[in-house]
Structure 1
Amino acid sequence: MKKIALSLVFAGTLLIAQKISQIQYVGLAHLSPSMATEVSGIQVGDEMDIAKINQSVKNFYAQGYFEDVWVESKGNALIYHFKEKVAIANLEIKGFGTGDEGEKLLASTGLKKGDLYDQRRVKEAKKALISNLESQGYYDTVVEVTTTKVSESSVSLVFDVNKGEKITIQKMNLVGAKEVDQGELEANLANKEVDFWGWIPFLNDGVAKVDQLEYDSYRVKEAYMQKGYLDADVSKPLMKVDFGSYNADIDYQIKEGIKYSIGKITIAQNLKGVDSKELIEELSLKSGKVFNINRMRSDINHLKEKIGNRGYAYVDVVPQMHKDEKAQTIDLNYVIKEGVPVTVNDVLISGNSVTKDRVIRRYIYLAPGDKYNATDLKDSKNALGRTGFFEKVDIETQRVSEDKINLLVKVTEAPTGTISAGGGYGSYEGLMVNASVSDKNLFGSGISSTVGFELSKISKNYNVSFTNPRVWDSLYSLGLSVYKRDYEYIDFKQNQLGGNLSLGREFYRHFYASVGVGYVDNQSEINSDVNSTYIQNIFYNDKYQKVSGFASLKFDNTDDYYQPREGFIAAANVELASLNGDLTQENIDEGYTEFANLTKFSGKIGAYYGMAELIDYDLILRAKARFTVISAGDNEYLPIAEKLFMGGVGSVRGYDPYSLSPTVITDNLGNKRAAADGELPNYDLNETSSRIGGTKSASVSLEASVPLSEAAKMRLAFFVDYGIIGTDPIPTKDGDLKFENIARASTGAVVEWQSGFGPINLVFAKAINPKDGDRTSVFEFSMGTKF
C-alpha cells in the first residue's frame, strides 16, 4: 500500500514555499543515500512541493526493492521511511524433480536465491511450473506455495508440486486426409499417437503435451504446404480425454484442396551488376516442381545472403504468390528490398575475460571500413567457434546510421587451461594415472601448450608441445613437440624418443596447409611371453632412427571445435621418411637389403549435420571416414613400428586397441604361413601367431548424438563402426606370403562429456562379427579428442 504522511506543520509550511534544508532516509539498505537522492529527484535547497514529493515516492516504488514508502517532515527536513521487501533465502521444489530435472524446473520459475520476494512474481512462477509440467505431458498439475519467515529480512519459498497424471494419445483421427500419408502429417507434431513399441528410445510414447496442442494444427498445415497444398484447411485439434484411464483421442478436420506446382519464378530487384536469371538458377525451387514452403524459405535466406554479400545488411525479400487454381500452378515473384549499402563502423568485443581482443579479431573477417558481407559474418562466427576458446559466440549488427553499422561480438569464455592429476581404468591399459599442465589459450594469447605424462601398466608417455596458430597475428602457424613414449603392444614393446617441427599457413579462409620435419629413435623388442625365436628376430627387434618430412592440406568449415553441428572437415597428409638401422641376419636372409624409405598417405573426412531446425531437437548426425596407405621400395624392410593396426577409439570400437592386424603363424621349425582371417595356431603342434601390422587400412563411422544433460554438458551418441586392414605380401625364404584383408564391424553408445578437464568419451561397444582369436572390448575411454 502506498502512503504519504504529511504533518499539519508540513502542510502549513508549503503555503510559504519553504525550502528543504535536509533529507533523511530511514530503513534504506539496497540504495545508497546519493543514489536515493538521484532516484527521488529532490535535492536539498528545492522548494517544498507536494506533487514532487508524491512523484518521488512513485520513483522509489518503481525500483522494486520496497514493500512500503512514506514521508514525513520535521521543520525544513524531509524524512523518507522505507520498508524493504524481504529476500528469498531458500528456494526449493518438493514432490517432483531431482538433480538436473529439479534444477531445470526451478530455472523455469524465473526465481533464484537472493531475489526479493514479490507476490506477483511468485504467482507467475507458479504458472510457469504448471506450464512446464504440461509440456512434459502432466495434466491437472497442482502447485501449492509455502512461504516461511527465516529472519526479519528473508523468507524460505517452497513449491509443493502434485504433478497430476500423464495423458496418453491412443488415436489420432485426421478426418479428410487422403492425399498425404498420416505418418508424414504426424512427423513434426508435438502430440502423436502412441507407437506399439513406444517405450523404446526414439519411438513415440504418446504422452500428450497439452501446452503444444494449439500449435499442432499449424504443424499439420505446414506438412501440407511442404507437399504443395497451399489451400489446405486444418481445424483446431479436439482432444477427448477419458479421465478414468487418462487415455485420449485427438480429432482434426481437414480440407486438403488443390496441389500446386511451380509456374514462373521471377525476381524484382534494382541492383547494378546483379543478373536475376543467375539468381533464379541458384534457387532450389524450379518451374514444374511441386511447391514446398520449406524450400521457398530456404531460397529467401539464400537471396538475403547473396544480396547481403554486396554490402546490404538489412535486405528484405518478400515473396509474392499468384495462384492459378485451374492450371494448379503458382507463380513466385521475389521482391528484393535491399535498402542502403552499409559499411562496418566498428567491431565491439565483449565477454572475453581471458582472451585478448587482438586474438578474437584474427578470426573476424570484417574490419572497420569494410563493406558488410553476410557470408563473412557467418564465417567469422564459425571461425571463433572452431578455436575451442569459447562456450558461446554471437555476432550481432547494431545500426549506427543509415549506412554504417557496428558489429557486436559477444563471447562466453570456455575453460581452456587445466592443471590436472588423475587416473582411470581401461579394459586394455588397466589402471592409468596422469598429470599435466595444458592450455589451448595460454594467457589469452591463442597459443596452445602442454607439459604432461601418463602412466599405465602398458605405457609410459611424456610430452611437451607448443603451437602458435597465428605467429605475430599473421596467417602462419608454428608448432614444436618433443615426446618419450614407451608402449607395450600385444606382441612387442616399443620405446620411442622423438620430436616434430611444423610450419603452417591458412589459405582461402577454410584451407590450411603445413609442412614439417620429424625425428624418431625407435627401439622395439619382443614381449617375454611370445615364444618364437624366429619372430623375435625378424618382426620385433627393430632398432632404427627415422628422419621424415611431411606435408598436409586441410579443409574445415565447421562451426565448433568440440561439438560441430554443421560443416565438413577433410584432410590429406603425406609423409616421406628415411629409416636407418642395422638389419638382423634374419632380415638379410629373407632378402631385405636395407631399411625402407617409406611413403605414407593418409586422409580423413567428417560431415556434421544438426537437426534442431528441422525437428526442434538437438540431434547431431555425423559421418566420418579415414584411410592410410604405406608403401616402400622392393627389398626394403618396413619395421612393424611403422605399420598399421586397427581397433579401439579412432578405428573400430569394440576391439582392443591395435589388436586387429594381418597375422603370421609359425611352427616350431620356423616354417610360417599367412593366417586366414580368424585362424588360430595349432598349439598341439607348438605353433605361435604374431600380428605383423598392415600397410593399408580404412574405417567408417556413423554416429547420432543426442542431449543427455545440458547442465553437466553431457550427450549420448550411438554409433556403427566398420573397418578394413590389409598388407602387401612379405618375402620369406620359401616365397612371398599373401594375406587376406581383415574386416570388422561394431556398434554401441558413447557418453560424451565436455568436462572441465577437456572432452571425455566413455565408450560402451559391442563387436558385431568377431572371429576366433579377436580381442574384444566392451568399455574404453579417451580424453582430449573431439566428439
Structure 2
Amino acid sequence: MSIGRCAGTSCGGKISSDYILYRVLGGIFLFLATVFTGLATPAMAQTYTFNSVQVEGNQRIETSTIVARTGIARGEKVTAGQLNDAYKRILDSGVFGSVELTPRGSTLLITVEEHPTINKISFEGNKRIKDETLEGVVSSQSRRVFTPEQAEKDASEISKVYSSQGRVAATVVPRIIRRSNNRVDLVFEIAEGTTIEIERVSFVGNRVYSDRRLRRILASKQAGLLRTFIRSDTFIADRVEFDKQLLRDFYLSRGYIDFRVNSANVEFTRERDAFFLVMDVQEGQQFSFGKISTVSEIKGVEAPRYNDVLKIKPGVIYSPSLVENSIARQERLALRDGVDFLRVEPRITRNDRDLTLDVEFALVKGPRVFVERIDIEGNTTTLDRVIRQQFTSVEGDPLNPREIRESAERIRALGFFKESSVETREGTTPDRVIVDVDVEEQPTGSLNLGGSFSAADGFGVAIGLKEENFLGRGQRLGLQISTAQDSKSYVLGFGEPHLLGRNLAFNVDLGLSTRNSSFASYDTSRRFFNPSLAFKLGELSTLQVRYGWNNTEMLTRTNIATGAVITSEIAQGKRSSSSLGLTYSYDSRLGGLNPNSGVLFEVGLDAAGLGGDNEFIKTAAKAIAQTKVLHEEVTLRASFEVGALSWRSNTSSRTIDRFILGSEVIRGFEPAGIGPRDLSGGQDDAIGGNYFAAARFEAEFPLGLPEELGIRGGLFYDVGNLWDLKNVNTAGGNIVGADGSLRHVVGFSVLWTTAFGPLRFNFTKALKKETFDKEQSFDLTIQARF
C-alpha cells in the first residue's frame, strides 16, 4: 500500500491503521525535535526600534519634556527592560497619576494622566490650633502639583501637632474638591478630639525615693482638681522622653551612677479616657567621692597649685556637675596663669567595695586651635554685642570647648531667643575654628496682671509692663503699678546687665508710693531714686553697691487720733535722706556641693548723711540654712535675722525710719503687732524700734494626701524681739515695750500650690507675749498671676 495514494483521512471509506501510526510517530518526532532545538539555541530577547514617539493626555507638561525623560533615542534598538525603566522614570517624576507605554510598530505611544494642581488649601474643624500654624506644618502648596502621598504625609504631620498638645485621638483626613482645568481644592478635615490626661504616674523598682518624690521631678503631672487650668497633666509622648532624662539627672546628681530607666509604659485606662504612666527604674548603689588628686603632664605646670582650687572633698556624694565645676575652676586658673591650651581630663576609678569613685584630674596639653571669628545669624532685633557678651573668648583666643558650651548655655538663659545653637567648624586653616551662633528671636515684652491679698495691704491689683530686651540692647525696662486697697505704688525700673561691656549689672528704680495702713494711725508718702551696681565676687557670692535718695512724709489720717509720739513725728513734715549702701550675699542653695542643702547669708549697711535731712547708719543681716531629709520628703529650714539703727541726726527719728516687724519676720502677730507702743491719749500706736532679732525654725512635709492636690503641711517655731527707742521724741507719751522681751510662737501651716499661685494658711499660737501685743492666730497669704 502506498501512503502517498491515500489522500485525506480515509482510504476506501475507512481510516488506515498505517496512516494513524505514521501520524503518531511523526508527532513524537516533531516534539522531540522542538525540545532539543530549544535546549540547544537560546531564546532571542524581544527588541523594538522606534522612529517616532507620540504622547497623549498631557495638558501642562510639554511633550518634549516627557519624551526626554524616557531616555529613548529614535532609531535605536530598545529592549523590554529599557521600556520598563522609561516607564518608571516618567512615573517617578511625581506629576502623573498613571503612565502607559504602548509600542505600535515603529511608533511608541505614551499615554499619561496628570496629577491636578492645588487651587487652595484649607482646614476644617480646627479650633484649638490656628490655620496659620497648620500652614507652616504642611508641605503641599497652592499652585503646586497635588499628590495623594504628600497629602497623607501632611495629614500625619498635622496629627503630630495635635499629639504634642495631648490630643492623641485627633484624626486628620485629606480630601479634594474637583475644579475646572484639572485643579483641586485640598481640604484637611480635622476632628480634634479631647485632651487625654495622665490619670496616674507610678514607678517600679524605686526603693530609695518614693513615688511622691519622683513625681515632683517629672514634667508630666497627674491630673488633679484644677485639671482645667493645668496642661502639664496632658499626655505628650515627647515629654515622656524628657521625663526620663530628668530622672537620670536627678539620680546621677545624687551619686547613683548606675541608674537607668528600663522602660516607660503608657497604657489606656479601662474607660480609654486617660493614661497610666508607669516607669520601671533601676536605682543601683549610691557612690561618694573617694580620693581626689591632680596630676600634671605639662612641663612647668604644678599640680598642687591646681589641686588647691578644688572644692570637692572625699566623702561628698558624687555628682557629675561637681566634676564639671572643678574642671572649670582649673581651666580658669590656667587662663589666669597664662597657660594656653590646657585641658583637664577627669580619670575616674570605681571602688565597688567601699562605693567610692576616685577622681584624678589630669592636666594635659590640648590641640593648638584658635578662634578665628564668631559669626552670628538670625538676630533681627538683638544687637550682636549682646550675644558676644556671653562669650569670654574673642577672636584670636585659644579655643576652649568647655567655655563655648557654657557660652551657649548663657545665650539660652537670656530668654531672648526661641531657639539658639552654637556650633564650631573648621576655619581657613586646620588650626583655626569658626564659631557659628544661630538664633531665632522671640517676643521679650510682657504684660502681667496680678491679684494679691494680705492682712497688711488688703486686696489689690498689680499691672506690670516689662521689656527684657529694650531696643535689642539686652536692657530691662519696666513699669510696675500696684493698687492695693491700702497701698499704692508706681515704679519705673531700668537695668543694664553689662555696663561698659563688663560683667557689671546696673539697675535704677524711680517711683513713688503711698500707704494707708490698717495697723497705723497715719499715712505715708514716699518718693525714691535708687541706682545700684552689682557684680560677682565668686561663684556663689555677689556684692551690691547702691545709692538711695528717699523723700518721706508721715500724714495725718482723716478722723483718726494719734498719740504724742506719732503727732510729733507727723509735725516734722517731709524729710529726705541721701545714703550710700552695700550688700554682700552668699547663696549655696542652688550651686553648692549638696543639691539637698544650702545656706544663704546676706549682710547690708546703709549710711545716710551725704546731704538730705537724715543722718544714720542702718545695718541688717540674714542667714538661712535648709536641708532635705527622709529621702528628700521633709524640708528643714532655719532662719536668723538681726537689724540695728544708729541715728545720728539732731532731730529725732520717726517710726518709718525705725524697724517695724511683720509676719514675714515673726508669725502669729499682726503687722507691727510687737515692739514698743505709745498708749498716750487712749491710743495704741506701734512706734517701732532701733534693734530687732528673730529666729525661725520650720519643717515642711507631705500630709499623705494625693499629690495632685498640691497640698503639703508645715510646723514652725518663731522667736523674736524688737526694742530700743534711743533718739526718739517720747515726750508726753505713755511708752511700753521699749526694753523689749522675747516672743515665742508655734504654728501649723497648710501650703497649697495651685494653678493661680501658692497659698499659705498659718494657724498660730503665741506661747509667750506681752499684754499690749496684737496677736493674730490665723493668716492667709495669696499671690496670684493671670
Q: Please give the range of the TM-score, normalised by the shorter of the 2 chains.
A: 0.5 to 0.7
State yes or no: 1:493 paired with 2:508. Answer: no
d(CA) in 2 for partners of 1:502 and 1:412? Answer: 33
Q: 1:536 to 1:280 in 2, by over 3 A?
A: closer
State yes or no: 1:449 paired with 2:477. Answer: yes
State yes or no: 1:574 paired with 2:605. Answer: yes
2:581 to 551, 560, 567: 551
- List aligned pairs for 1:379-458, cutoff 5 A: 380=407, 389=416, 395-400=422-427, 402-409=430-437, 413=441, 415-418=443-446, 424=451, 426-428=453-455, 429-430=457-458, 432=460, 438-451=466-479, 453-458=481-486
Deviation sequence 1:728-756 (CA, Å, 0-9, x none): 32265788831224566674547698xxx
Query: Matched residues, percent identical?
Result: 14
Q: TM-score, normalised by structure 1?
A: 0.57
* CA-CA distance at 1:84 after TM superposition: 7.0
Which residue of structure 2 lines up, in the alignment, with residue 637 of structure 1? 652
Which residue of structure 1 lines up, in the alignment, with residue 42 of structure 2? none
Q: Does the 8 Å CA contact 1:654/1:747 hold for their aligned counterparts? A: no
d(CA) in 2 for partners of 1:746 and 1:630? Answer: 33
What's the secondary structure of 2:656's corresponding residue?
A: helix
What's the secondary structure of 2:388's corresponding residue?
A: helix
Letter in 2 for 1:448: R
Which residue of structure 2 lines up, in the alignment, with residue 369 of structure 1? 396
Deviation sequence 1:50-77 (CA, Å, 0-9, x none): 999889768866xxxx8958699999x9
* CA-CA distance at 1:545 after TM superposition: 1.3
* CA-CA distance at 1:483 after TM superposition: 2.6
- List aligned pairs for 1:191-270, cutoff 5 A: 270=297
What's the secondary structure of 2:387's corresponding residue?
A: helix
d(CA) in 2 for partners of 1:349 and 1:154? Answer: 40
* CA-CA distance at 1:495 after TM superposition: 3.6
Give me the CA root mean square deviation: 7.1
State yes or no: 1:155 paired with 2:188. Answer: yes
Q: 1:749 to 1:444 in 2, by over 3 A?
A: farther
Deviation sequence 1:706-734 (CA, Å, 0-9, x none): 9xxxxxxxx99998888665333226578
Q: 1:521 to 1:762 in 2, by over 3 A?
A: same
Letter in 1 for 2:655: I
d(CA) in 1 for partners of 2:262 and 2:322? Answer: 28
State yes or no: 1:600 paired with 2:618. Answer: yes
* CA-CA distance at 1:629 after TM superposition: 3.2
d(CA) in 2 for partners of 1:456 and 1:371? Answer: 56
Name whichever of 45-54 and 298-307 sits farther off: 45-54
Q: Does the 8 Å CA contact 1:597/1:636 hold for their aligned counterparts? A: no
d(CA) in 1 for partners of 2:674 and 2:655? Answer: 11
1:664 to 650, 665, 677: 677
Q: Does the 8 Å CA contact 1:726/1:742 hold for their aligned counterparts? A: yes
* CA-CA distance at 1:340 after TM superposition: 0.9
In our comparison, the structure showing a higher alpha carbon Rg is 2
- List aligned pairs for 1:227-376, cutoff 5 A: 270-275=297-302, 294-295=318-319, 299=323, 302-303=326-327, 306=330, 319=348, 339-373=366-400, 376=403
d(CA) in 1 for partners of 2:489 and 2:435? Answer: 45
Q: Does the 8 Å CA contact 1:309/1:375 hold for their aligned counterparts? A: no
Q: Does the 8 Å CA contact 1:747/1:768 hold for their aligned counterparts? A: yes
Q: 1:165 to 1:81 in 2, by over 3 A?
A: same
Name whichever of 428-437 and 715-724 sits farther off: 715-724
d(CA) in 2 for partners of 1:625 and 1:87? Answer: 66
What's the secondary structure of 2:764's corresponding residue?
A: coil
Deviation sequence 1:645-682 (CA, Å, 0-9, x none): 3446x6578987x4544252626xx5xxxxxxxxxxxx
State yes or no: 1:692 paired with 2:716. Answer: no
State yes or no: 1:729 paired with 2:732. Answer: no
What's the secondary structure of 2:391's corresponding residue?
A: coil
Deviation sequence 1:523-549 (CA, Å, 0-9, x none): 213544654543542565552412222
1:778 to 774, 777, 780: 780
* CA-CA distance at 1:354 after TM superposition: 3.0
d(CA) in 2 for partners of 1:434 and 1:328? Answer: 54
Q: Does the 8 Å CA contact 1:483/1:499 hold for their aligned counterparts? A: yes
d(CA) in 2 for partners of 1:225 and 1:357? Answer: 35
Q: 1:495 to 1:579 in 2, by over 3 A?
A: farther
Q: 1:531 to 1:512 in 2, by over 3 A?
A: same
Q: Does the 8 Å CA contact 1:500/1:519 hold for their aligned counterparts? A: yes
Q: How many aligned residue pairs are there? A: 639
Letter in 1 for 2:646: S
d(CA) in 2 for partners of 1:691 and 1:68? Answer: 89
d(CA) in 2 for partners of 1:768 and 1:71? Answer: 86
What's the secondary structure of 1:147's corresponding residue?
A: strand
What's the secondary structure of 2:393's corresponding residue?
A: coil
State yes or no: 1:769 paired with 2:764. Answer: yes
d(CA) in 2 for partners of 1:383 and 1:528? Answer: 54
d(CA) in 2 for partners of 1:694 and 1:781? Answer: 29
Q: Does the 8 Å CA contact 1:261/1:330 hold for their aligned counterparts? A: yes
What's the secondary structure of 1:537's corresponding residue?
A: helix
* CA-CA distance at 1:599 after TM superposition: 1.1
Letter in 1 for 2:782: E
* CA-CA distance at 1:769 after TM superposition: 1.9
What's the secondary structure of 2:550's corresponding residue?
A: strand
Q: 1:358 to 1:112 in 2, by over 3 A?
A: closer
d(CA) in 2 for partners of 1:262 and 1:142? Answer: 45
Q: 1:533 to 1:212 in 2, by over 3 A?
A: closer
* CA-CA distance at 1:149 after TM superposition: 3.2
State yes or no: 1:522 paired with 2:556. Answer: no
What's the secondary structure of 1:641's corresponding residue?
A: coil
Q: 1:385 to 1:764 in 2, by over 3 A?
A: same
Flag structure 1 segments of 5+ consecutive residues without an equivalent: 1-7, 29-36, 94-98, 134-140, 175-180, 191-197, 202-206, 582-594, 671-686, 707-714, 754-760
Which residue of structure 2 lines up, in the alignment, with residue 502 of structure 1? 531
d(CA) in 2 for partners of 1:452 and 1:127? Answer: 40
* CA-CA distance at 1:488 after TM superposition: 0.8
Deviation sequence 1:394-435 (CA, Å, 0-9, x none): 645445464333444455656443567x67453554554566
d(CA) in 1 for partners of 2:296 and 2:722? Answer: 61
Q: Does the 8 Å CA contact 1:654/1:765 hold for their aligned counterparts? A: no
- List aligned pairs for 1:466-481, cutoff 5 A: 466-473=494-501, 480-481=508-509
* CA-CA distance at 1:487 after TM superposition: 0.9
Q: 1:495 to 1:604 in 2, by over 3 A?
A: same
Letter in 1 for 2:762: A
